[in-house]
Amino acid sequence: MPKLISGFSKLNKQEKIQWLASNFLKENVNASEILSLYWNSDQQLQQLHDDFIENTISNYYMPFGIAPNFVINGKHYTIPMAIEESSVVAAASLVAKFWSDKGGFKAEVLNTVKVGQVHFMYDGDQESLLDYFKSKKEDLYTVTDAITKNMRKRGGGILDIELRNKTDELANYYQLHVTFETKDSMGANFINSCLEAMAQEFKKEDIQIVMSILSNYVPDCVVRAEVSCEVEKLHPTDGALFAHKMMQAVAIANVEPHRAVTHNKGIMNGIDAVVIATGNDFRAIEAGVHAYAAKSGNYKSLTACKVENGIFTFSIEVPLALGTVGGLTSTHPLSKLSLEMLDNPSAKELMQIIAVAGLAQNYAALRALTTTGIQEGHMKMHLVNILNQLEANQQEKEEVTQKLKGKVVSYSGVAETLKKIRA
């Protein structure tokens, strides 16, 4: 049984790998050989990657692709996507091209307010607490002056500070609920620094500060995107039937949580891929988006679909707290390249682009589900992964692909076809 280790972080990379191999890997697994394949030969660049997190032993690669032909608010984009799932980039590209001659995507940012909170306990007179808050409110702004100075120059900063009574939900629980504008920065460190300064200023003997932290639930940092066209342009044979089935699909996601989760997961295929490519925090985005989908008390679709006066409209409204300066966006070479590819957008512009990516992905998924089914296209894209798992050489890949052309792809079917070829 492996022993606990002290001082692991002080070991160099090779020593960490040796410890891992000795304690957790089989003897026939050459960890050093596998991991070294993904080290960058540029030592400075490798050191940059090593410094992103702790105890690094290698880099973990994901495919980095591009989806061309997006037209958003009249501007042409090629969107970077970092994702491992087959068919996502292809689906986004196809949908982008489909809508490019129908006016493209329209997007607008509805608001950019972000939230942070100082959580505290107080077992005393509520009026006295309110009086104390009123007496300290200006001081709470003042104590953050040094932190907010540069942000205020860019038009951001602290918008408001509220005292919220939450004692009906938890005994003695109150909070300072603080709203922020962080402009092109995602603002996590900025918000947390402000909150901690406020907590130090606000605390006193009968106020127990529990924690000070930003919230990843940002229902007032929201972007909307949509596409629309005449119903008859939706489908080559029956646009009205197609539109009807699309509306039914969204309606089902609004009443059936089992479907809604998968429906929204498809949206996140598009959103996360661009969030990761641009060096933003996809875990924060995921948490906030799914909370937003449940804001009514029931988990529902993030997209909406309607037909009015013969016009089909497909739209999304989603919270996205993003940054285009600071953090990984300013240090990771591929994140910087992704933003350059997008013409170095502001945070608001990036919100619009990413919302469109999610909308396009959902449209592609629903179009497949309500017509040919999801597996036909997905498994075609997945064919190369199956062939790689079966260790097919290039000639075998070409023969299998040719034999399965026009057929539904399945793992067992690919394996059987490859077996016959090899026989």
What is the tens place of the pLDDT at every residue in 367-404? 999 987 655 555 566 687 788 888 889 998 888 888 88
First vs last C-alpha separation in the chain: 45
Sheet holding 106-109, edge to edge: 106-109, 222-230, 311-319, 303-308
Beta-carbon contacts of residue 35 (< 8 Å; ≥ 6 apart): 17, 57, 58
pLDDT in tens, 228-280: 999 999 999 999 999 999 999 999 999 999 999 999 999 999 999 999 999 99
pTM for this entry: 0.89
Clarify whether 265 is annotated catalytic.
yes
Q: What is the pLDDT of residue 389?
A: 87
For the chain, list the domains and their CATH numbers: 8-52 (no CATH), 114-215 (3.30.70.420), 223-371 (3.90.770.10), 377-422 (no CATH)
Helix (H, G, I), strand (E, B) or coil at 35: helix
| DSSP-derived secondary structure letter, 232 | G
Strands (E), 155-221: 157-165, 173-181, 207-215
77 in Cβ contact with 49 (< 8 Å): no
Q: What is the pLDDT of residue 380?
A: 61
Helix (H, G, I), strand (E, B) or coil at 213: strand
Closest CA to 139 of 117, 171, 161: 161
CA pseudo-torsion sign 67, 259, 247, 109:
negative
- What six digits make up the tokens of 20? 């891992």
Q: What is the pLDDT of residue 244?
A: 97
317 in Cβ contact with 302 (< 8 Å): yes
- Among the options 16, 114, 183, 378, which is catalytic? 378
Helix (H, G, I), strand (E, B) or coil at 75: strand
Q: What is the pLDDT of residue 409?
A: 79
- Among the options 75, 97, 177, 265, which is catalytic? 265
Instruction: Work out the burial of residue 143: count CB atoms within 10 Å of its CB; fewer than 13 is exposed, 13-18 middle, 19 or more buried.
Output: middle
- Among the options 114, 281, 349, 380, which is catalytic? 281
For tokens 């709470």, name the residue: 140
Clarify whether 49 is annotated catalytic.
no
Task: Tell me the C-alpha distance between 331 and 302, whole Å.
Answer: 32
Tell me how far CA of residue 254 lies from CA of 115, 179, 286, 317, 392, in angstroms: 27, 30, 19, 14, 43
- Ranges of residues in the chain with a pLDDT under 70 are 1, 373-382
Task: Tell me the C-alpha distance between 319 and 66, whole Å.
Answer: 24
Closest CA to 293 of 328, 332, 264: 264
Clarify whether 119 is annotated catalytic.
no
Tell me how far CA of residue 16 lies from CA of 8, 49, 54, 405, in angstroms: 7, 16, 12, 47
Clarify whether 378 is annotated catalytic.
yes
- What six digits make up the tokens of 223? 């972007």
- Among the options 85, 108, 220, 396, which is catalytic? 85
